Structure 1
């Protein structure tokens, strides 16, 4: 646990974030070296600085580096109590906070620690769980695994998944090296489009509502199962007079059973997906 790790971690985070970005699919919007326009405007308002629009030339501002590092230190590093976290774990949680926000970073840390109450609050219970963890190398790996599962649930995964995946892999390599006392790899740009990965971009929770109409497991007369049953009831009185109609009625009965079974299987599948989604997004 060392405050010096902030200086050690910073080149890696800046390398991952890149320079100027304003990708239309990025929820962070206009961004320079990982600082969004929204965060920059709030910082300027708080410290009496003139508001300026972030551009590709922002790095030439004489006060940029000082303010950038102060933002990173106060709003991300200090916010996740990184000075109190073990080496390697501090870097994994810090980089996660920069990319996905402090609340999401703490939640993922809590999930990696298997804490029952995942609430995004980095209090004494969570810090004690970190301290008790027997292997911080494995804890870094668990954090990165939980982080990747979260990222894959975002609607923007298709646009930025390659870069995010490479970033998580790089964080894991560096974090595990630090956790075991190794120097680890040097900071390297990822050369992939990078974006903020925020909860607001999460996919909709899977629903079971579509099962009734699409597969016919519901009770409405407009469902597939309801239509099959209606036809069967109309033909049944004639079944005794015709072998063909009797066979049709039997086929309709079987089809109705299969439709009902399919609907139940669909609902089970969707409920399972919803449960897995809720667990990842907790």
Structure 2
């Protein structure tokens, strides 16, 4: 099983199946409750992000292809230590690719432009060495701390925060299992 397959499996544990929660901005094609059409979310693929997609008819293979192309590949998951790849991938799905990359960049002390290029990869190599578990853990802790601050500031935290907090609390444990 590849790092992507492991990360996708963890993501899908959190995302679940089809939902039509009227309070969830992601379920609406307009990105806000009562804006656009209520098409829902399935496998974490939302009507807000994909307003023309038939969410209810989405297959797992369709979702897998979307996650690979639009999230995993854009955060260069295959080039990150597996533990960090899971955290950054999960954040890219929930917070957007640019936001996830900026969190990673801030966590490793490199300019945060939202794009992973040679400078970010070099800074990451300096931060984690040859994948030293203690150094990867230190970056993962910093990344998660920054992500918690970002998510707790969202206007939807009051509604969805407890579920998100559980997810954010469990991810480092899942990530470290990937690393071993």
* TM-score, structure 2 as length reference: 0.83
Taking a change above 3 Å as real, the CA distance of residues 12 and 120 of structure 1, as seen in their structure-2 partners, is same
How far apart, in 1, do the equivalents of 2:105 and 2:68 lie?
22
* TM-score, structure 1 as length reference: 0.54
- Residue 24 of structure 1 deviates from its aligned partner by 2.9
The residue correspondences of 1:103-122 to structure 2 (distance < 5 A) are 103-115=98-110, 117-122=111-116
Which residue does the alignment assign to 2:8?
A: 10
Which residue does the alignment assign to 1:130?
A: 124
Which residue does the alignment assign to 2:148?
A: 148
Structure 2 alignment gaps of length 5 or more: 28-39, 129-134
- Deviation digits for residues 84-114 of structure 1 (CA, Å, limit 9, x no counterpart): 0012011110111111110110011111112
Q: Which protein shows a greater Rg?
A: 1
SS state of the match for residue 88, structure 1? Answer: helix
Instruction: Say whether 1:34 aligns with 2:44.
Output: yes
- Residue 144 of structure 1 deviates from its aligned partner by 0.9
- Residue 38 of structure 1 deviates from its aligned partner by 4.4
Which residue does the alignment assign to 2:171?
A: 171
How far apart, in 1, do the equivalents of 2:67 and 2:3 lie?
13
- Contact kept in structure 2, 1:18 and 1:34, CA below 8 Å: yes
Which residue does the alignment assign to 1:101?
A: 96
How far apart, in 1, do the equivalents of 2:13 and 2:178 lie?
18
Number of residue pairs matched by the alignment: 162
- Contact kept in structure 2, 1:92 and 1:171, CA below 8 Å: yes
- Residue 35 of structure 1 deviates from its aligned partner by 0.6
How far apart, in 1, do the equivalents of 2:107 and 2:20 lie?
32
- Deviation digits for residues 46-99 of structure 1 (CA, Å, limit 9, x no counterpart): xxxxx53x33xx46xxxx122111001001110100000012011110111111
- Contact kept in structure 2, 1:141 and 1:176, CA below 8 Å: no
Which residue does the alignment assign to 1:25?
A: 23
SS state of the match for residue 25, structure 1? Answer: coil
- Contact kept in structure 2, 1:89 and 1:175, CA below 8 Å: yes
> Aligned-pair RMSD on alpha carbons?
1.8
Which residue does the alignment assign to 2:32?
A: none
- Contact kept in structure 2, 1:140 and 1:176, CA below 8 Å: no
